[in-house]
Structure 1
Amino acid sequence: MVKKISFSHLLLPPKLYCFVLVYTCLEVLIMDKVTVKIMSYSCKMVDITEEGVSLVEDLYKRRQPLPTMDAIYFIQPTKENVFIFLSDMSGRSPLYRKAYVFFSSSIQKELVAQIKKDTTVLPRIAALSEMNLEYFAIDSQGFVTDHERALEELFGENVEGSHKYNACLNTMATRIATTFASLREFPYVRYRAAKSSLDVSTVTTLRDLVPTKLAAAVWNCLAKYKSTIPDFPQRETCELLIVDRTIDQIAPIIHEWTYDAMCHDLLNMEGNKFIHEVKVESKDGKQKTEKKEVLLEDHDPIWLELRHAHIADASERLHEKMTKFIMKNKAAQIHQSSR
């Protein structure tokens, strides 16, 4: 029997619903560094364990053999990952009984052929599928492709002839395309052309061609989906607009005054986690300081309501909520009077 974890609370509404197949009989989930981040953005550990997965493993770490258990591999379709997978499942003593393999994006034909060559592994593969799930849902309104050095690799001084330039663009294109695969949307891909296409006297650089090259790479991925993904639209259903910073040079220096922006500016946060100290009374009556963690994410209704509000508006609304809470809560009233 197959169950699915629904990520319908993530990403762009109203139609971006992503599913990861999880089989109730499977108990080991194996991921690499990228897919771990994808999963951590999408669901919590409790969501995974509720589907019958009792153990989550790192693909690159040495793992204990569990020959009586089946395993799910949710990994990127790279040569290194495929090699490790084949090492796990080949020979007389594989690490697991059966393997359900899900790739985060499209896999090359050469790697599929490499898997087929290993006759000891083939009977042990229960599923082999492309999930097309390689983007990072930061909140209910958007996602990122997770390229911290994209500005340097695409617009730096030494981009001419750099392999990092093409690698960055191709990875971004793949991850953007997997989003549309999840949406089952086939977009018109529109982009801002380089100025040289309009003015012959202007010299074209690789920096000028970022929107053009990214649009072409995204389109190539989407064109493959038309023939490989069931129920994928055969005609365009929406629009994708690709531009670069040159269309709006003032935005990076404008300071945001939203509740979200102010939290990240003024608080010492690690990603979406804020650690603060509170004073609590111990059993012997003495006060001690404890550290508490707060996750500012879509599971927090207050954060979801106020994150995009102006800080002044958010402050007033928080004050109103606190006042109402104290009026209804006797413990809060006693605590306030004691202060």
Structure 2
Amino acid sequence: MVFNIRQKQSEAVQKLLNLNTALNPNKDPGEQYKVLVLDRFSRDIIAPLFRLNDLRRHGVTLHLSLEADRQAIPDVPAIYLVQPLPQHVDRIVSDAAAGLYETMHLNFTTSLPSRLLEQMAVGAVRAGASQRVAKVYDQYLSFVALEPTLFTLGLPNAYVELNDPAAKDSQIEAAVQSVVDGLFSVCVTLGVVPLIRCPCGGAAEHVAGQLDQKLRDALKARNNLFAEGMLGLSASLSRPLLCLFDRNYDLAAALQQPWTYKPMVHDVLAMHLNRIQLAPRNNLFAEGMLGLSASLSRPLLCLFDRNYDLAAALQQPWTYKPMVHDVLAMHLNRIQLAPELSTTGPTASSQC
């Protein structure tokens, strides 16, 4: 059984951008203009999956930050993709009360708790803006898909929160719940109910127990989130295996890396969300190594997940230099010869 977590998440986001309706091959999804409102975490979800041109093909003319002050655009629908947090619910209610958009399609990265749903409903009714909220969806997208077989939960402080001796029980429980929500989102996106294995004791067992209970509750619910939950024996014979380990079990594994260029780029150039950004004056590739001019007027942004030649080159071992050198030279030359073709990304910087 082969899973492509990146493709599955991309398809889920495409459906979200189509106002949660199935994509019609005979209809251009860009015919209806929309505004996309994201919080910080959901921006990280979207960034590895879509460029600005990809969003435009789905009718998204603007992508805005939930936390920023925004002007009213009353003639277009707005698609929200945010975490289910109290401050986000308050901001959504204030947007509805201010009439910023014609309709609001609310999508949450995980299940919206009942108390927050009630809080949002009461606030919208009191503001007389309940008619602006078109739909509310639980999307289960609380993870970042970097590669077809690689994802991250986007929790850089999880290890510290789970192992801090001064942490309160409520803080540890919140950290465990964040991990459980992320793994549950992965299972829902893939449409599978895995077999869970973990060592006894520690955070791994705690996470596994809560995840197991959440999967059981989802299978018993009226609206079953898993297609395999109703297939009987045939589904149980093809269930994947999910192994959870505590990082304390083997600390050295986090420091080990293969002898390829990608881990080196990740460590040296601070790769984040499959991209690196090099300032014009500190461009390591512009002079010396490739003999190119360093007269870039904007930062150089390299998207390794979007360029298959560059991604393949980074998988080569350190001893294999010709292919990597040629690929980097080709793309840097393309940027300098045709800079107008390199401004289609989500930031005002050149891309390769």
| Corresponding position: 1:173 with 2:206 | no
| TM-score (structure 2 length as normaliser) | 0.73
From 211, 215, 220, give the equivalent of 2:208: 215
| Corresponding position: 1:11 with 2:16 | no
Partner of 1:337: none
From 227, 245, 262, give the equivalent of 2:264: 262
**Gap regions ≥5 residues in structure 2:** 19-30, 230-234, 288-292, 331-336, 338-352
From 152, 158, 163, give the equivalent of 1:150: 158
Decide whether aligned partners of structure 1 residues 154 and 300 sit closer, same or farther in structure 2, where only a CA change above 3 A counts: same
- CA displacement at 1:243 relative to structure 2: 1.0
Partner of 1:298: 305
RMSD: 3.1
Query: In the aligned structure 2, how far is the partner of 1:65 from the partner of 1:157?
Result: 47
Decide whether aligned partners of structure 1 residues 66 and 152 sit closer, same or farther in structure 2, where only a CA change above 3 A counts: same
- CA displacement at 1:155 relative to structure 2: 1.9
| TM-score (structure 1 length as normaliser) | 0.75
- CA displacement at 1:317 relative to structure 2: 4.2
Partner of 1:49: 56
- CA displacement at 1:322 relative to structure 2: 9.4
From 222, 244, 247, give the equivalent of 1:245: 247
**Gap regions ≥5 residues in structure 1:** 1-8, 195-208, 280-286, 325-330, 332-339
Native 8 Å contact 1:26 1:72 kept in 2: no
- CA displacement at 1:190 relative to structure 2: 1.5
Which digits, 9 at most, give the CA deviation of each residue in 1:81-101, with x for residues without a partner? 1121112113xx511111111
Partner of 2:218: 225
**Percent identity over paired residues:** 20
Counterpart mapping for 1:20-31 below 5 A: 20=13, 21-23=16-18, 24-31=31-38
Partner of 2:81: 74
Which digits, 9 at most, give the CA deviation of each residue in 1:299-318, with x for residues without a partner? 11223223333222x32544
- If asked which structure has higher relative contact order (CA below 8 Å, sep 6+), I would say 2
Query: In the aligned structure 1, how far is the partner of 2:247 from the partner of 2:112?
Result: 32
- CA displacement at 1:213 relative to structure 2: 0.8
Aligned length: 291
Native 8 Å contact 1:105 1:174 kept in 2: yes
Task: Tell which structure's C-alpha radius of gyration is larger.
Answer: 1
Higher strand share: 1
Decide whether aligned partners of structure 1 residues 126 and 242 sit closer, same or farther in structure 2, where only a CA change above 3 A counts: same
